[in-house]
Amino acid sequence: MSRRPPADVWLHGASVGDARALAPLVRALADARPDLRLLISAQTSTGRAMARRLFPALPVVRPPLDLPPLPDRALAQVRPRLVVLEYLELWPAWAAACRRRGVPVLVVDGRVTARSLRVRPLLRRAAAGLAAFCARTEADAAAARALGVPAERVVVHGNGKHDGVALAPPQPSPELQAAVGAVDVVIGSLHPDEEAAALPALAASGLRALIAPRYPRRAAAIVRAGDRLGVSVALRSAGGSRDARWVVLDTVGELAGAYALGAVAVVGGTFGRREGQTLAEPAAHGRPVVHGPRVANVADEVAALTGHGVAEAPDWTVAFARARVWRDAAERPDPRPALARLSGATARNLRTLLAVLEGRGVQDVDRAAGGC
């Protein structure tokens, strides 16, 4: 097991997106309490790589495997005063170890999925022991209570990821710009179950596209599909090509900035089983956004952005037709003013974090600050 340095606050996420989502809170906490020692962990190797890029001055480690006695050993090394979990990441053995050692656990940007509710018996005790659950939406708060989080410890704060992307959206690197050039449309987070419908519709549209598959390993399948459809395809990892009709973004961590290269964004994960990927990243670049009908995971973004440069399409053919209209418009709609209305979760999460760290009541702090 790798050595983990001592820290006052241990902040954990699963992957690249979670590391990005934690960034505004980590920066706000470091500014508010520079005396605190912070430790970052991420479940995936790509998440840890992103965390090292975002937090170069902080230690970044693997989390413990959720098998006793490994969480106890990790906590004995770190000796944290507080553990902060992004999204949910509620591992029973780790939660039990925190409970035994008297270490409070706080969830920020909290969301409880239907899958989590299906395994409620496995998570109920861990949920009941949370010091606070900062939910994204009222629906997430209700689901957290159903999972077993005490009602008095549940607050609705929004999603801190919106603060990060709205204030400072990542920019494409010069290498990425050189490899791709300008495109008509950026297709973000295309899931495997969407490819069979999306790629023929894209070929028929004639749009020049940057395609970011949800899983980079799908790049070869997209290249083969392009060959069958008579479309020239280049891989970003192979240097890309400004002459190719499609460039496949088969690298990790570049999509958030890559949205700036397109006139329009079409967000995948919204036409298949996934139920949504973030609309905030392309919106933060001022790009109009088209999404599909499956958006349960990003319902708050849809509610705030629809009609402000963000529109739903029932299928990929309609989505690309909408993209062509916006590409050719004399003046494209800009969703950034609407996106700004989703900001503010980081400040609310920080107040709750400090309250838990200092042993104060969560609801009292939330009421004193005017709620969300």
CATH at residue 99: 3.40.50.2000
Calculate the average pLDDT of the chain: 94
Mean pLDDT, range 105-129, rounded to an integer: 92
C-beta of residue 136 within 8 angstroms of C-beta of residue 159: yes
Instruction: Output the pLDDT for position 367.
Output: 53
Mean pLDDT along residues 221-225: 98
Based on the fold, state whether residues 324 and 351 are members of the same structural domain.
Answer: no
Q: Is residue 168 part of a domain?
A: no
What is the mean pLDDT of the segment spanning 308-317? 98
Task: Tell me: do 149 and 37 sit in the same domain.
Answer: yes
Residues 119 and 106 in one domain: yes
Q: pLDDT tens digits, residue range 11-44?
A: 999 998 899 899 999 999 999 999 999 999 999 9
74 and 106 co-located in one domain: yes
pLDDT in the model for residue 114: 83
Query: Which pLDDT score, from 0 to 100, does residue 366 have?
Result: 55
At residue 363, the pLDDT reads 64
For residues 356 and 362, give the distance between their C-alpha atoms in angstroms, rounded to a whole number: 7
What would the pLDDT profile of 157-201 be if each residue is shown by its tens digit? Answer: 999 989 988 878 889 999 999 999 999 999 999 999 999 999 999
What pLDDT is stored for residue 3 in this prediction? 81
Q: Place 365 in a pLDDT band, splitting at 50, 70 and 90.
A: low
Quick: pLDDT tens for 43-88: 999 999 999 999 999 999 999 999 999 999 999 999 999 999 998 8
Residue 125 shares a structural domain with residue 242: no
CA distance 251 to 64: 27
Same domain, 86 and 194: no
Task: Please give the pLDDT value at position 250.
Answer: 96
- The answer to whether residue 186 sits within a structural domain is yes
Same domain membership, residue 126 and residue 93: yes
Chain segment 318-350, per-residue pLDDT in tens? 999 999 999 999 999 999 999 999 999 999 999
Residue 165 lies in a domain: no
Identity of the residue numbered 255: L
Kindly state the tokens that stand for 44. 């995936």
- Comparing 361 with 161, the larger pLDDT belongs to 161
Separation between Cα atoms, residue 295 and residue 330, nearest integer Å: 29
Look at residue 1 in the predicted model and tell me its pLDDT: 43
User: Is 102 in the same domain as 242?
Assistant: no
For residue 316, the one-letter residue type is: W
Is there a domain that residue 219 lies in? yes
Report the predicted TM-score, pTM, of the whole model to 2 decimal places: 0.84
pLDDT average, residue stretch 141-170: 92
Residue 232 shares a structural domain with residue 156: no
Residues 6+ apart with CB under 8 A from 217: none
The answer to whether residues 270 and 214 belong to one domain is: yes
On whether residue 156 sits in a domain, the answer given is: yes
N- to C-terminal Cα separation, the chain: 41
Q: Quick one: pLDDT at residue 372?
A: 44
Instruction: Give the residue numbers spanning the domain of 329.
Output: 174-340
Sign of the alpha-carbon torsion through 314, 297, 302, 169: negative
Instruction: Please tell me the total count of domains within the chain.
Output: 2
Cβ atoms 94, 67 nearer than 8 A: no
Question: Residue 263 is encoded by which pair of tokens?
Answer: 């006139």
The pLDDT value recorded for residue 281 is: 95
Bridge partners (DSSP) listed for residue 264: 185
Q: Which string of DSSP letters, residue by residue, matches 196-260?
A: HHHHHHHHHHT--EEEEESSGGGHHHHHHHHHHTT--EEEGGGT--TT-SEEE--SSS-HHHHGG
Q: Report the C-alpha gap between 120 and 92 in whole angstroms.
A: 11
- For residues 283 and 361, membership in a common domain is answered with no
In a domain, 324, yes or no: yes
Q: Are residues 46 and 155 in the same domain?
A: yes
Q: Which residues contact 354 (CB under 8 A, 6 or more apart)?
A: 32, 33
Q: Is residue 79 part of a domain?
A: yes
Specify if 4 maps to a domain.
no
